[in-house]
Amino acid sequence: MTELSLRHIKKSYGHVEVLKGIDHQVPDGTFFTLLGPSGCGKTTLLRVIAGFVTPSVGSVHFGSEDVTGVPPHRREIGMVFQDYALFPDKSVFDNVAYGLRARRVPKEEIRRSVNEYLERVGLEGFGERLPTALSGGQRQRVALARALVVGPRVLLMDEPLSNLDAALRVQMRDVIRSLQLETKTTTIFVTHDQEEALAMSDTIAVMKDGRIDQCGAPDDVYRNPKTAYVSKFVGSANLLQAKPVERCNDGICRFEVEGSNFAGRIMSEANDGRYLVVARPENLGIRKAAAAPGECELSGVVISTQFQGYRTSYRVKLKSGSEVNVETFGEMDGSPLTRGDEVIVSFQDKCIFVPEASQ
Amino acid sequence: MNRFLPWGLLSLLALAFLLLFIAYPIIGILLRSFIDESGEFSLEGFFIFLNQGRYLEALANSIILGLSVTFCCTVVGVFLAFIVARFDIPFSNIVFLLPLSVLIIPELISAQSWIMVFGNNGLVTHLLDAFGIPFPRFYGWFGLIYVMTLTYYVHIFLAALAALRGFDHSLEEAGQSLGTAPLTTYVKVVFPTIIPAVLSAGLIVFTLVVGNFAIAISLGQRVPLLSVLTYRSFISELGGNPTMQSTLATVSILLVALVLFLQRWYISKRDYQMVAGRTPPRSKLKGWKSWAATGVAGLVIVLSLLPALVVLAGSFTVSRGPVMYWGQFTLDNYTRILDFNLGVVGNSLKFASLATLLGVTFATLVSYLLVKKRSALSSTLDYLLLLPLTISGTVLGISLAQGFNSGPMVLTGTAALMVLAMMLRRLPFGVRNASSNLHNISNSLEEASVSLGVPPGRTFFNVVLPLMAPGIAAAAILTWVTTVAELSASVVIYQAGQETLPIQIFRLINSDLMARASAFGVINMVIILVPVFIGIRVMKVKLFSS
């Protein structure tokens, strides 16, 4: 059981700085997700933790031990790869036993552990098969068993689900998460899929251009994005320009958005005083326009509707010309809205404000 | 940190090895061609080359021979490939064994067997003589072109077959739908698309012909050729002019380098990729066409395999001097070997085993370094590995013998140099064979192993080596086959007591003792055949996958 700390990690290739100073602590037993688009440095950071990449500056610590200079094979990690990386000439059993044999575990114990882990990932009886005789989901289960059976100090997963089809991916989330909880293994999970990150993690670190933009519990990152980038990358968000009008003491500020008065919390300070209001589609209310819009409300016209069973999405064109998405759940009061209806979009009191420029 | 060692160190060692044993001797021979006997810079060698008629004549002859053989090979190879790819003929399975026949029958034995058939004391020569029909002299252009065509057409056959197989049939149908007749379609649509592959293989054939020693010296007494002249200039070293050896070697290096450069340039220029389409169906031929196609294919197959049979029969035939008493059988030729020449067999086995072991180990390591652990040294390694391709065996032998006959490292005359020469000739192909599977092995496989606690070196043996095994096995078999049959480099550097089977066969052919040469030939072929057979049948090695 290991706490992982990353201290001031930088990595450059030539003049390109891929990691620009990562400082972070991952508490023991946490499922920690690095979320970001390709090229943000998340895989490089994972490989720094694994030891395949040596950081230009900074250090990696497993518990109290500084492992920066320790080669990967002595770091006692487990790693799961996007392409499974199963040894194609070895049976499922031999694949899972590989790390135990390297540790010179007695034969009888190897047999017991391997079978236990194959059972845990739901592959009992598959030991004799070759990896080629398995489906993608089964292969990734073997890879997971292989990485966990050695009791790694840290489990590292590099986009392990992205080669699987959608249904399997959802199923494998459960498999991975419940195994992680059972074994209480500190896990670093790299993905570009925000849904995956939200569904599985204890903590999400949203990465951008070699930095961690925001870090927190999934619901916190989702509900309280500190930047426009995070609000867009995690979940979907409507962003409208907001002009600060009055600053209050209790953290609530007043803004003017498209001619209406808004109030809400500022998530982080803008250096240049320019803000955006962030509103999740499901947090917006929508109703037929009967009167002029009030506080925190804007009027517009429905330009498209999509009925999706338990929810309905609307696209609304505001007076200013910008568009917002609104989602409603269950049945609407009164008659359903259709294209061309004049509506009032209500931002209610859940608005939050983030700096317009990325800092 | 640990990233540079041990792979960086190994790269450095491999580089040092290639620099010492390939670059240094070759650069040495190039430089010596500009130095006269007193050690001063001079163009004397090239002056003699240009002014003494026989050198220029030899150069011209080599080029003419190269062009003629390449042309004949193209005709035979493309025609055979066309028949096999497109028509259902009775023994098409045997056709696919043809590449093997070239491996199993060394070119020296091929030349010998055809001398036994068409030479001065040949079977057919005597037969025609009995009917009063004079047979044209086999030694010279006719024999050279005939035997070399039968030896090298397989290269073009394989290239053309691969191109025809990959040819998208719908293109052909597109041609026909536009109103061209099937045969015209072939000429206009199909042949142009296989030209790049055929031409590229043709240039390889040209370099092989120009560098050829075994056939050239056995059949070319009347036709001065560059490779033979280079060899003779070295053999008569005591009286000869060392500058002249270097000059001749330099000329042939430049000639082959030029052709290889042309080939690369051509490939890079016209690399139109064929979309892998439907493999065209093989149709059944009817009537005379069927007979003609079957007959031609059959003839080529028979002529390709005949040398083995002739030599086998010859090895059991009674002979007195050059005269063969066909029909009278004896085991004498073999018992003589048992009594007097077991050492030759031993030499061949010893040198070839060492060369194969060394060559395959080196090829495995270097291919791994080049594919998986690329560093600043890699591209230099790449280029150095191309060097042995640009030099014929004779030139390699001379450059090694000259390069290591003095100075801190004297190897000339040692068995080590024999092994080295045999190993170096095959090295570029060995690396190619060994790396054939390597590109498909994902890097994450090694990282998975390392992450599970196995250090990089042991990971290589646990994970990578088993997956490379098929390629390594192919490299081992092909290296064995070529080193056991190697003549042109070893004949230049061997000393008394270091004779190998091909050298012994070569000497016996020179003395016109064909029956005894045949017995050695059969032993040579058996030594080649056994590993090939085991590899293909038992270990299921794909020799021609890359």
Q: How confident is the model at residue B483 (pLDDT cuts 50, 70, 90)?
A: very high
Q: Report yes or no: B478 and B430 within 8 Å, Cβ to Cβ.
A: yes
Separation between Cα atoms, residue B346 and residue B448, nearest integer Å: 46
Residue A79, phi-psi category: left (phi > 0), alpha (psi -120 to 50), beta (remainder): beta
B298: in domain:
yes
pLDDT above 80 (res B246) = yes
Residue B268 above 80 pLDDT? no
Looking at residues B409-428, what average pLDDT do you find?
88
Whether residue A105 has pLDDT greater than 90 = yes
B358 contacts: CB under 8 Å, gap ≥ 6: B419, B423
- Kindly indicate the confidence band of residue B60, based on its pLDDT and cuts at 50, 70 and 90: very high
Q: Looking at the 3D structure of chain B, how many domains does it have? A: 2
Is the CB of B1 less than 8 angstroms away from the CB of A85? no
**Sign of torsion, CA A224 A227 A230 A236?**
positive
Q: Determine the Cα–Cα distance for residues B476 and B465; give it in Å rounded to an integer.
A: 14
Nearest to B206, CA basis, from B72, B384, B58: B72
Looking at the structure, do residues B448 and B383 belong to the same domain, yes or no?
yes
B3 belongs to a structural domain: no
Of the candidates B1, B448, B455, the beta carbon closest to that of A85 is on: B448
Cα separation, B346 vs B359, in Å, equals 19
Residue A330: pLDDT above 80? no
Evaluate if residue A333 carries a pLDDT over 90. Answer: no
Closest of A287, A292, A290 to residue A346, by C-alpha: A287
> φ and ψ at A208, to 5 degrees?
-150, 125
Residues contacting A40, CB < 8 A, separation 6+: A207, A208, A209, A210
Per-residue pLDDT of B305-339, as tens digits, reads 889 999 999 999 998 888 888 888 899 889 988 88
Has residue B386 got a pLDDT over 60? yes
Nearest alpha-carbon partner for B67 in B155, B7, B1, B148: B148
Tell me which chain A residues have a C-beta less than 8 angstroms from the C-beta of B2.
Answer: 71
The CATH superfamily holding the domain A236-355 is: Nucleic acid-binding proteins (2.40.50.140)
- Over residues A264-311, the pLDDT tens digits come to 888 888 878 788 989 888 888 888 888 778 788 888 999 999 888 888
Task: Give DSSP secondary structure letters for B121-155.
Answer: T-HHHHHHHHTTPPPPP-TTHHHHHHHHHHHHHHH
One domain for residues B310 and B361: no
Cβ contact B543:B478 at 8 Å: yes
A150 chain-B contacts, CB cut-off 8 A: 452-453
Give how far the C-alpha of residue B209 lies from the chain's centroid of Cα atoms, to the nearest Å.
10
Model confidence over A170-180: pLDDT tens digits? 999 999 999 99
What pLDDT score was predicted for residue B272? 52
Closest CA to A71 of B445, B9, B1, B10: B1
The arithmetic mean of pLDDT across residues B360-377, rounded, is 89
User: Using the beta-carbon criterion (under 8 Å), do A73 and B456 form an inter-chain contact?
Assistant: yes
Helix (H) or strand (E) holding B474: helix B465-484
Contact yes or no for A85 and B452 at CB 8 A: no
- In angstroms, what CA-CA distances link A79 with A86, A169, A186, A200, A207? 11, 18, 12, 17, 21
pLDDT of residue B281: 65
Same structural domain for residues B399 and B267? no
Task: Work out the mean pLDDT of chain B and round it to a whole number.
Answer: 85
pLDDT value of residue A317? 92
Which chain A positions have a beta carbon within 8 Å of B1's beta carbon? 54, 69, 71
Q: Are residues B300 and B367 in the same domain?
A: no
Chain CA centroid to CA A55, Å: 24
Task: Please report which helix (H) or strand (E) contains residue B75, including its range.
Answer: helix B53-86
Mutation target among A43, A60, A73, A79 for the B interface, most CBs of B within 10 A = A73
Tell me how far apart the alpha carbons of residues B546 and B544 are, in angstroms, rounded to a whole number.
6
Interchain proximity A87–B452, CB inside 8 Å: no
For the record, the structure tokens of A95 come out as 């694949």
Question: Picking from A95-109, A340-354, B505-519, which range would have the lowest pLDDT averaged per residue?
Answer: A340-354
Q: Provide the percentage of residues in chain B whose pLDDT is more than 90.
A: 30
Q: What does B442-471 look like in DSSP terms, one character per residue?
A: -HHHHHHHHHTT--HHHHIIIIIHHHHHHH
Amino acid, res. B3: R
Phi, psi angles (nearest 5°) of residue A212: -90, 115
pLDDT of residue B277 exceeding 60 = no
Mutate which: B451, B458, B467, vs A, most A CBs within 10 A: B451
Q: Is residue B19 part of a domain?
A: no
User: Which among B385, B382, B371, B357 has a CA at the least distance from the CA of B436?
Assistant: B371
List Cβ<8 Å contacts ≥24 apart for A128-133: A128/A91, A128/A92, A128/A93, A129/A91, A129/A92, A130/A88, A130/A89, A130/A90, A130/A91, A130/A92, A131/A84, A131/A86, A131/A87, A131/A88, A131/A90, A131/A92, A131/A95, A132/A88
Structure tokens at A104: 């010179």
Domain locations along chain A:
4-227, 236-355
Asked whether residue B500 falls in the same domain as residue B363, the answer is yes
In the listed set B285, B315, B345, which residue is the last one of a domain according to the structure?
A: B315
pLDDT tops 70 at residue A252:
yes
Q: Looking at residue B206, what is its pLDDT?
A: 93
Amino acid A250: pLDDT: 67
Answer yes or no: are the C-beta atoms of B128 and B134 closer than 8 Å.
yes
Grade residue B273 by pLDDT with cuts at 50, 70 and 90. low
In three-state form (DSSP H/G/I as H, E/B as E, the rest C), the secondary structure along chain A is: CCCEEEEEEEEEECCEEEEEEEEEEECCCCEEEEECCCCCCHHHHHHHHHCCCCCCEEEEEECCEECCCCCHHHCCEEEECCCCCCCCCCCHHHHHHHHHHHCCCCHHHHHHHHHHHHHHCCCCCCCCCCHHHCCHHHHHHHHHHHHHCCCCCEEEEECCCCCCCHHHHHHHHHHHHHHHHHHCCEEEEEECCHHHHHHHCCEEEEEECCEEEEEECHHHHHHCCCCHHHHHHCCCCEEEEEEEEEECCCCEEEEEECCEEEEEEECCCCCCCCEEEEECHHHCEEEECCCCCCCCEEEEEEEEEEECCCEEEEEEEECCCCEEEEEEECCCCCCCCCCCCEEEEECCCCCEEEECCCC
The predicted structure's pLDDT at residue B2 = 46
Contact A99, B452 (CB under 8 A): yes
| pLDDT over 70, % of chain B | 91
Q: What is the pLDDT of residue A93?
A: 96
Considering the domain architecture, whether residues B294 and B367 belong to the same structural domain is answered as: no
User: pLDDT-derived band of residue B175, with 50, 70 and 90 as boundaries?
Assistant: low
**Among B14-28, B179-193, B275-289, B490-504, whose mean pLDDT is lowest?**
B275-289
Residue B1: predicted pLDDT: 38
In-domain check, residue B32: no
Find the domain containing B339 and state its range: 331-546
In a domain, residue B30? The reply is no
Angle at B289 between CA B283 and CA B290, to 5 degrees: 60
Answer yes or no: is pLDDT of B267 > 80.
Answer: no
Q: Chain B: give the shortest CA distance to residue A81, in Å.
A: 7
Residue B474 belongs to a domain:
yes
What is the structure's pLDDT at B368? 92
More confident: B360 or A351: B360
Residues 205-234 of A with CB under 8 A from B: none
Give the tens place of pLDDT for each residue, A176-194: 999 999 999 999 999 999 9
**For range A27-44, the mean pLDDT:** 93
Substitution target from B372, B441, B452, B460 for chain A, most A beta carbons within 10 A: B452
Residues B448-459: what's their mean pLDDT? 92
Q: What average pLDDT does range B472-483 have in this prediction?
A: 90
What is the rounded average pLDDT of the residues B245-273? 80
Measure the N-to-C terminal CA separation of chain B; round to a whole number of Å.
Answer: 36
> Which CATH architecture group holds A4-227?
3-Layer(aba) Sandwich (3.40)
* Nearest alpha-carbon partner for B523 in B213, B215, B104, B222: B104
Contact A76 B447 (CB under 8 A): no
The C-alpha atoms of residue B421 and residue B416 are separated, in whole angstroms, by 9
**Between A35 and B280, where is the model more confident?**
A35
Q: Is B31 domain-assigned? A: no
Q: A69 contacts in B (CB within 8 Å)?
A: 1
**pLDDT value at position B240?**
60
How many residues are present in chain B? 546
CB pairs under 8 A between A and B: 71
Q: Is the pLDDT of residue B546 over 50?
A: no
Q: Scan residues 441-470 of B and list those with Cβ closer than 8 Å to A.
A: 442, 444-445, 447-456, 459, 462-463, 466-467
Q: Which of A207-216, B115-124, B524-533 has the lowest mean pLDDT?
A: B115-124
For residue A96, the chain B residue with the least C-alpha distance is B452
Q: Cβ contacts (< 8 Å) between A86 and chain B: which residues?
A: 448
Tokens of A80: 């799961």
Distance from CA of A120 to the nearest CA of B (A): 19
Do A72 and B454 lie within an 8 Å CB cutoff? no
Task: Tell me which residue of B176, B199, B359, B169 sits closest to B265, measured CA to CA.
Answer: B199
Q: Is B41 part of a structural domain of the chain?
A: no
CATH number at residue B473: 1.10.3720.10
Q: Is the pLDDT of residue A338 over 50?
A: yes
Domain boundary among B282, B315, B348: B315
